[in-house]
């Protein structure tokens, strides 16, 4: 074979090799972000699948920035040194964080601030984080599904929702926090649905019904050291908010508490501290064996309060007092509840 023919053969051979090997190399992930080992603090702009544990990180674990990003923990752990966030959203329009996997020992496991769009977080174990999931002022719906969230009992909240969040919190286990699930102010539509909330100080706390719209439904709220489910702030702390107008809720009310099982909490099973303008409905809950009161309603001390609180169709037995009202305010009523004890003895009917 001539030198010229040999040279042509080699070029052809190399071309064929690249045609065959190129797709193979691409399929193996060479050149993609998911294929290389990420480092603590890396900014992630495309989908990524962890191939090894990450950390302990001296600051943030991963920072997400891009239109659509999926982080697959793929059975691995992102660990910290009690600072920063395990995963920090920074301008993500649509994000998914999926397990199985673990995020542990950060100030916040996952942080979503302003600019976060539609986000789904599921099938992850959160341990030893001061706060597991924090969300405020996102631009889309947040879904937190089927996670196990375990705190140390010292500080923080398991899940904190606020500042414009529309959120669906479904079938999570939350344990070991001063507040298991916290719904803050200015949250237009929050559903807390079918979670197990146990061994916290306060189980579920919807802070301020006039500035929040929530449905707390179908949860098991057990063995918390304080109140099982609580709404409202202490009346004295609500005074600076008197001038604020209430949020327009999609459901037309401030909050629904329905179909929950609330038992063996050390204070009240359900404590409703009424807002001044919004309404709350407590119905079809099973509230038993709570140390102080089963269902406790503290009336609004705010001037010109028009909010309605209706307590209807609940089963309340073996509590310190099954149904309690502090006899303050108006527009509160009780109907078709099963109970043995109440204070006052006769409660206004609906």
For residue 4, report the phi and psi dihedrals to the nearest 5 degrees.
-65, -40
pLDDT the model gives residue 189: 86
User: CA–CA distance from 177 to each of 128, 149, 156 (Å)?
Assistant: 10, 9, 6
**Size (the chain), residues:** 350
Q: CA triplet 219, 277, 204: central angle to 5 degrees?
A: 20
Structure tokens belonging to residue 122: 């599921």
User: CA–CA distance from 199 to each of 151, 259, 270 (Å)?
Assistant: 10, 20, 16
Average pLDDT over residues 238-252: 55
Q: Is 211 within 8 Å of 234 (Cβ atoms)?
A: no
The residue with greater pLDDT, 247 or 294, is 294
pLDDT the model gives residue 136: 79
CA gyration radius, the chain:
26
> Right CATH number for 33-343 from 2.60.40.1250, 2.160.20.10, 3.20.20.70, 3.40.250.10?
2.160.20.10
Q: Which of 34-43, 303-312, 339-348 has the lowest mean pLDDT?
A: 34-43
Average pLDDT in the chain: 84
Between CA 76 and CA 74 the distance in angstroms is 6
Average pLDDT over residues 211-237: 86
Is the pLDDT confidence value at 178 over 90? yes
Between CA 254 and CA 260 the distance in angstroms is 18
DSSP 125-138: EEES-SEEEEEES-
For residue 162, report the phi and psi dihedrals to the nearest 5 degrees.
180, 180
User: CA–CA distance from 21 to each of 9, 30, 167 (Å)?
Assistant: 18, 11, 46
Q: Given 3-state DSSP classes, what are the helix, strand and coil percentages for the chain, each rounded to the nearest 5?
A: 10, 45, 45
pLDDT the model gives residue 245: 59
Between CA 124 and CA 13 the distance in angstroms is 48
User: CA–CA distance from 333 to each of 137, 270, 297, 311 (Å)?
Assistant: 35, 16, 10, 6
Q: Is 223 within 8 Å of 265 (Cβ atoms)?
A: yes
Sketch the domain layout of the chain as residue ranges. Answer: 33-343
pLDDT digits (tens, 9 = 90+) for 33-59: 443 578 999 999 999 999 999 999 999
Between CA 110 and CA 71 the distance in angstroms is 12
Cα of first residue to Cα of last residue in the chain, in angstroms, is 102
Query: Could you give the 3-state DSSP secondary structure of residue 261?
Result: strand
pLDDT digits (tens, 9 = 90+) for 103-161: 999 999 999 876 667 899 999 999 999 999 998 766 678 999 999 999 988 789 999 99
């Amino acid at each position: 074979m001539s030198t010229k023919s040999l040279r042509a053969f080699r070029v052809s051979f190399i071309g064929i090799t690249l045609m065959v090997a190129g797709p193979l190399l691409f399929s193996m992930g060479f050149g993609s972000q998911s294929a290389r080992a990420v480092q603590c603090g890396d900014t992630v702009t495309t989908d990524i699948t962890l191939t090894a544990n990450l950390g302990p990180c001296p600051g943030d674990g991963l920072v997400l920035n891009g239109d659509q990003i999926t982080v697959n923990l793929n059975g691995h752990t992102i660990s910290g040194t009690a600072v920063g966030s395990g995963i920090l959203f920074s301008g993500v329009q649509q994000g998914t964080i999926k397990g199985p996997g673990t995020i542990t020992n950060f100030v916040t496991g996952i942080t979503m601030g302003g600019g976060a769009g539609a986000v789904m977080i599921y099938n992850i174990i959160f341990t030893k984080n001061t706060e597991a999931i924090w969300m405020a002022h996102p631009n889309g719906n947040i879904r937190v599904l089927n996670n196990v969230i375990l705190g140390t009992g010292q500080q923080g909240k398991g899940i904190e929702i606020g500042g414009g969040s529309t959120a669906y919190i479904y079938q999570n286990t939350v344990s070991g926090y001063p507040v298991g699930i916290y719904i803050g102010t200015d949250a237009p539509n929050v559903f807390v649905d079918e979670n197990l909330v146990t061994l916290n100080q306060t189980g579920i706390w919807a802070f301020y019904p006039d500035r929040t719209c929530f449905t707390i439904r179908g949860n098991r709220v057990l063995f918390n050291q304080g109140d099982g489910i609580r709404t409202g702030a202490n009346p004295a702390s609500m005074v600076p908010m008197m001038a604020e107008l209430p949020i327009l809720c999609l459901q037309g009310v401030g909050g629904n508490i329905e179909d929950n099982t609330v038992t063996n909490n050390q204070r009240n099973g359900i404590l409703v501290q009424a807002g001044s303008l919004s309404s709350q409905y407590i119905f079809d809950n099973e509230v038993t064996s709570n140390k102080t009161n089963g269902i406790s309603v503290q009336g609004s001390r705010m001037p010109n309060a028009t909010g309605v609180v209706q307590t209807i169709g609940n089963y309340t037995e073996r509590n310190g007092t099954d149904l309690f009202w502090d006899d303050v305010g108006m527009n509160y009523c009780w109907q078709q509840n099963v109970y043995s004890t109440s204070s006052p003895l006769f409660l206004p009917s609906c």
